[in-house]
């Protein structure tokens, strides 16, 4: 019997790699993102890998759009076994005093409020089924605050706190809640963070081997595929050249 996974931010980076790996591992998929064309491209590849796929194009910052998308799920699509809350971003890398409030709002609205809107909409379906697993993509920035990371780090601290809170409250419903907390991985993340400045984005990965999206996807699959009586609470991974947010070995 195939399982159903709902993966946010599937148009790029981790979400895209997670979608392919789940498609190869007996999951049908609901995939989301704002870029409709890219979403169709990813969905088509997942279908070639054997998955049935439902695409939902919306901005996770908009509560009404999130609720509408989840209430549009019908039939087997309501039996979500796995929710991967992956959509997220960093915008800017500026000292607190110079940072833009608009950037802060985008990060809070996407990484925290978007995750909350979607989880709040999907959890009742999981409660009805008395099963489910939520995997939140946090970050090493969720346990350590680095210079100029202020609000991004705060949103990822919130993701880790919410992971723990949801795990406690959902205990009676046998719903597992985990986080996967990566360090530096080369995706579109830095291009978004530096607002399209490709040179600055590239510089973030110079002098060491960063992780790639596949590394994170494999961890998500590992967390999701533990036996029902095991919950991995948090799985943190970094490039070998990164010990934590502060200690790097770059050549």
Q: Which stretch binds ligand NAP (CB under 6 A): 19-27, 53-61, 67-75, 242-250?
A: 53-61
Nearer to ligand NAP, 128 or 197 (CB): 197
Candidate list 11, 178, 179, 242; residue touching ligand NAP; CB under 6 A: 11
- Would you count residue 40 as binding ligand NAP (CB under 6 A)? no
The helix, strand and coil proportions of the chain, stated in percent and rounded to the nearest 5, come to 45, 15, 35
Nearer to ligand NAP, 41 or 128 (CB): 41
| 152 is known as an active-site residue | yes
Q: Where are the beta strands (DSSP E) in the chain?
A: 3-7, 27-33, 53-57, 82-85, 133-137, 176-182, 234-237
Q: Give me the 133-172 binding string for ligand NAP, x by CB under 6 A, dash otherwise.
A: ----x-x---------------------------------
Whole-number CA gyration radius for the chain: 17
CB atoms within 10 A of CB 29: 30
Q: Which of 58, 117, 152, 208 is catalytic?
A: 152
Q: Which stretch binds ligand NAP (CB under 6 A): 56-64, 93-101, 117-125, 161-169?
A: 56-64
Shortest approach of ligand NAP to residue 247 CB, angstroms?
Answer: 16
- Would you count residue 33 as binding ligand NAP (CB under 6 A)? yes
Candidate list 94, 188, 218, 234; residue touching ligand NAP; CB under 6 A: 188
Q: Give, as ranges, the residues between 91 and 120 that touch ligand NAP (CB under 6 A).
A: 110
Helix, coil or strand: residue 131: coil
Q: For strand 176-182 and strand 234-237, is the pairing parallel, antiparallel, or unpaired?
A: parallel
Place of tokens 């406690």: 168
Contact residues: ligand NAP, CB under 6 A: 9-15, 33-35, 38, 59-61, 86-89, 110, 137, 139, 182, 184-185, 187-189, 192
């Amino acid at each position: 019997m195939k399982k159903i996974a709902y993966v946010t931010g599937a148009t790029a980076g981790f979400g895209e790699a997670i979608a392919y790996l789940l498609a190869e591992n007996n999951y049908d998929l609901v995939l989301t993102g704002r870029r409709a064309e890219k979403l169709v491209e990813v969905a088509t590849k997942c279908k070639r890998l054997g998955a049935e796929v439902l695409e939902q194009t919306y901005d996770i910052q908009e509560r009404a759009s999130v609720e509408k998308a989840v209430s549009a799920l019908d039939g087997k699509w309501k039996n979500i076994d796995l929710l991967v809350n992956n959509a997220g971003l960093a915008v800017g890398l500026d000292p607190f005093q110079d940072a833009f409030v608009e950037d802060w709002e985008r990060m809070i609205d996407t990484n925290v409020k978007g995750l909350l809107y979607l989880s709040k909409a999907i959890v009742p379906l999981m409660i009805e089924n008395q099963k489910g697993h939520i995997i939140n993509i946090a970050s090493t920035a969720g346990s350590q605050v680095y210079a100029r990371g202020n609000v991004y780090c705060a949103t990822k601290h919130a993701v880790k706190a919410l992971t723990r809170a949801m795990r406690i409250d959902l205990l009676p419903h046998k719903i597992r809640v985990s986080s996967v907390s990566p360090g530096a991985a080369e995706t579109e993340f830095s291009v978004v963070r530096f607002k399209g400045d490709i040179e600055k984005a590239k510089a973030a990965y110079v002098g060491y081997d960063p992780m790639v999206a596949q590394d994170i996807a494999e961890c998500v699959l590992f967390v999701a595929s533990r036996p029902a009586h095991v919950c991995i609470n948090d799985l943190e991974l970094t490039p070998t050249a990164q010990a934590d947010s502060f200690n790097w070995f770059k050549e």
